[in-house]
Structure 1
Amino acid sequence: MGADQSIEVRAAGGDRAAFTELMTATKADLYRFIRRYVGDEAEAHDVLQEAYASAWLAMRRYDPARPFDVWLRSIALNKCRDWSRRRAVRRVVRGVMGLDTPEATAVGDDAPAPEARMDDQRKATNLQSALSDLPDALKAPLLLAALEGRSHAEIASLLRITPKAVETRIARARKKLSEVLAQAQHKGVTWP
């Protein structure tokens, strides 16, 4: 292969070193997106690995005319959606307050935390839980806009919907989050 070929073209041709370079260049951003989507650090690493494995297997079908990060993000988004479906099945099997809740997997801390820290942690937990419970159609556009700062046009291209649909879904997601968080605050509920 010629030295003048792009790294994406070389990777699409089966060049493992080129694919490794692409992984290195995209790993941090992709992990942040997946981490926000799934809400769990260890699960996010697993989903990230699945996304890269799928990307490598599909690399020969990659179209270099399309931005690599958009192509990779769509694979990661599909892996996140798969994870969400598996999570829903686990919830049914284990029950609403199952073994995969933060309370069940938390490691105890010997030092008492200050009230402010606990309140911040509770808010962050409520927000992450509310984000995780959003339907995929609302969650993906919100995270792509809020977390990654992508434009509505970029999100529309990635999700294969119109920019107006992106705008509507983001508005619905924000409204749903506000409602859920207000309910939790009103009831004094700490989300599972």
Structure 2
Amino acid sequence: MGSDTPEQRAARGDPDAFTALMTATKADLYRFVRRYVGDEDEALDLVQEAYAAAWLGIRRYDPTRPFEAWLRTITLNKCRDWSRRRRVRRLVRGVVGLDAPEAVRVADPSPGVEAQAEDRRRIAELSRALDALPHGLRAPLLLATLEGRSQTEIGRIMGLTSKAVELRIARARAQLRAALDVPVE
């Protein structure tokens, strides 16, 4: 028992082992979710939801597989659910919510306003282009570019082959280039 891994102990329901796994994964998980949803508070909520769902389903976790891949799958599902709820809210309201970045942006009166405004515009443009990508393209792109995950890891997380991941990342990049009007190098 003493030589069990934290994953094995967590799979048996050990809360201390699960807490240790949470501590080890929370920064990367938050960074991914924050980039995915574009909102700090929503990202914190989604990470908490993902950990709660993981704890509730911990007995189904297979400790011979990477904990982080299992957790990332749960988190991606939480992000997909969040995206669906957000689309429904937008359809119902017919407008962008008050919590959207566009609704809370305030001009910065500091020197170099034109350059800062251009930077903000480009960031907002990129954010909108990322949001417009279908989940099946956005998730592998973010996992690869922001987290430096390999195609094999992404495939494990998303239930895809490495070749399918490669293709999705290429399609995502092509769609972003087209949306941002960036010439192909």
Q: In the alignment, residue 135 of structure 2 is paired with which amino acid?
A: D
Matched, 1:94 2:96: no
Aligned length: 181
Structure 1 residue 60, shift from structure 2 partner: 1.0
Could you tell me how far apart the structure 1 residues matched to 2:103 and 2:144 are?
A: 32
Could you tell me how far apart the structure 2 residues matched to 1:22 and 1:84 are?
A: 26
CA shift digits 1:35-66 (9 cap, x unpaired): 11111111111111110000000111110110
SS in 2 for 1:84: helix
Report the equivalent of 1:131.
130
CA contact (8 A) 1:130 1:181 kept: yes
5+ residue gaps, structure 1:
184-192
CA shift digits 1:50-94 (9 cap, x unpaired): 100000001111101100111111111111111110111011012
Report the equivalent of 1:164.
163
Could you tell me how far apart the structure 2 residues matched to 1:135 and 1:98 are?
A: 20
Q: In the alignment, residue 85 of structure 1 is paired with which amino acid?
A: R
Output the TM-score relative to the length of structure 1: 0.88
Provide the alpha-carbon RMSD of the alignment.
Answer: 1.7
CA contact (8 A) 1:134 1:173 kept: yes
Matches within 5 A, 1:61-140: 61-106=60-105, 108=106, 111-112=109-110, 114-140=113-139
CA shift digits 1:112-171 (9 cap, x unpaired): 462111211111111112112210110111111111111111111221111111111111
Could you tell me how far apart the structure 2 residues matched to 1:91 and 1:135 are?
A: 17
Report the equivalent of 1:186.
none
Structure 1 runs of 4+ with >6 Å offset: none
Q: In the alignment, residue 79 of structure 2 is paired with which amino acid?
A: C
